[in-house]
Each structure stands twice: as structure tokens, then as C-alpha cells.
Amino acid sequence: MIIDHPLLGPRDSAEFTYMGDAKLIDRPDWQAATAAQDFYEYAYLRDNPAGWHEELWFHEAGDRSWLVVTRNTLTHEISKVELARDVARRRGRST
């Protein structure tokens, strides 16, 4: 596969390490009353769809960016690649 890195352009997927569902960005609030349940779901309940999926890829043999790659797990088509940091900010993780 080829991942079109937002900073570096198209790179072979062999340069990346895969981590799965980009929902891992949405780490719960540790002080919430439901924190125990929230963290259980965060750590263990993960989507694994046959189809479009937002995934985390780490450019380990490259610039060390974490990326959110929107990929179809059936066809391996990639429709969008973003820096995970931008996604995280958009999802309200700025402190």
C-alpha cells in the first residue's frame, strides 16, 4: 500500500507501524464519575469494520508522525490521510 503522508507525500506502507482504530485518540477523562467504565471501553472495545475505517499509522521509518488514515479494509483504498495531531485537536484534545 501507499500512504500519502500529508507532509512527505506518497510513502510505502512498509515504512509505517499500524495501531488500529483511531478512536484511541479519544481517551476518556480520568476524573469523570464513569472513568472506570469509560477506560474499560476505551481500552478493550474497538471497531473492526469491513469497510471504511479510520486507523492510526506511525511513520516509524520516517518522520515519526502519527497519522489518521481513512482506509477501506475490504479494498485497501485510502481516501484521506491526516496528521493525528490535527485530528486530536479537532476532537478537542487541546489542553
Partner 1 sequence: MTQINRLSGGQIDRDTTLQFTFDGKTYTGQQGDTLASALLANGVRLMGRSFKYHRPRGVLTAGSEEPNALVELRGGARKEPNTRATTVELYDGLLANSQNRLGSLRFDLLAINDRLSNFLTAGFYYKTFMWPAAFWEKLYEPIIRKAAGLGSLSLKEDPDVYDKGFLHCDLMIIGAGPAGLSAALTAGRAGAQVILADEDFRLGGRLNSETFAVGDQTGADWATATLAELSSLPNVRIMPRTTVIGAFDHGIYGAVERVSDHLHTPKDGKPRQILWRIYTKRTVLAAGAIERPIAFENNDRPGIMLASALRTYANRFAVSADKRVAIFTNNDDGHRTAADLYAKGVKIAAVVDSRPDAPRQENYEVLSGEVINTKGRLGLTFADLRLADGSTRTLECGALGVSGGWNPNVHMTCHQRGRPTWNNDLAAFVPGGTLPPGMTVAGAANGEMSTHGALVSGQAGSVAALHDIGIKAKASDLPQAEDAPVSITPFWYVQGCSRAWLDQQNDVTVKDVKLSHQEGFRSVEHLKRYTTLGMATDQGKTSNMGGLAIMAELAGKTIPEVGTTIFRPPYTPTAIGAFAGRHRGMDFHPTRLTPSHTWAEEQGAVFVEVGNWMRAQWFPRAGETTWRESVDREVLATRGSVGVCDVTTLGKVDVQGADAADFLNKIYCNGFAKLPVGKTRYGLMLREDGIAMDDGTAARLAEDHFVVTTTTANALPVYRHMEFVRQCLFPDMDVQLISTTEAWAQYAVAGPNSRKLLENIVDQDISNDAFPFMACANITICGGLRARLFRISFSGELAFEIAVPTAYGDALIRKIMEVGAAFDVTPYGTEALGVMRIEKGHAAGNELNGTTSAQNLGMGRMVSKKKDSIGSILSEREGLNAPGDLRQVGIKPVDPTDPVPAGAHLMTADGPVDAAHDQGYATSACFSPVLGHAIALGFLKDGDQRIGEKMRLVSPLTGVDVAVEIVSAHFVDPEGDRLRA
The contact set with partner 1 (CB under 8 A) reads: 1-2, 17, 19, 24-25, 27-28, 30-31, 35-36, 39-40, 42-44, 56, 58, 60, 64-66, 74-78, 83-89, 93-95
Specify burial of residue 7 (Cβ count, 10 A radius: 0-12, 13-18, 19+): exposed
Cα–Cα distance between 2 and 92 in angstroms, integer? 29
Residue 24 or 70: the one with the smaller Cβ distance to partner 1 is 24
Beta partners for residue 82, in sequence order = 68
- Measured from the CB of residue 47, what is the shortest distance to partner 1 in angstroms? 17
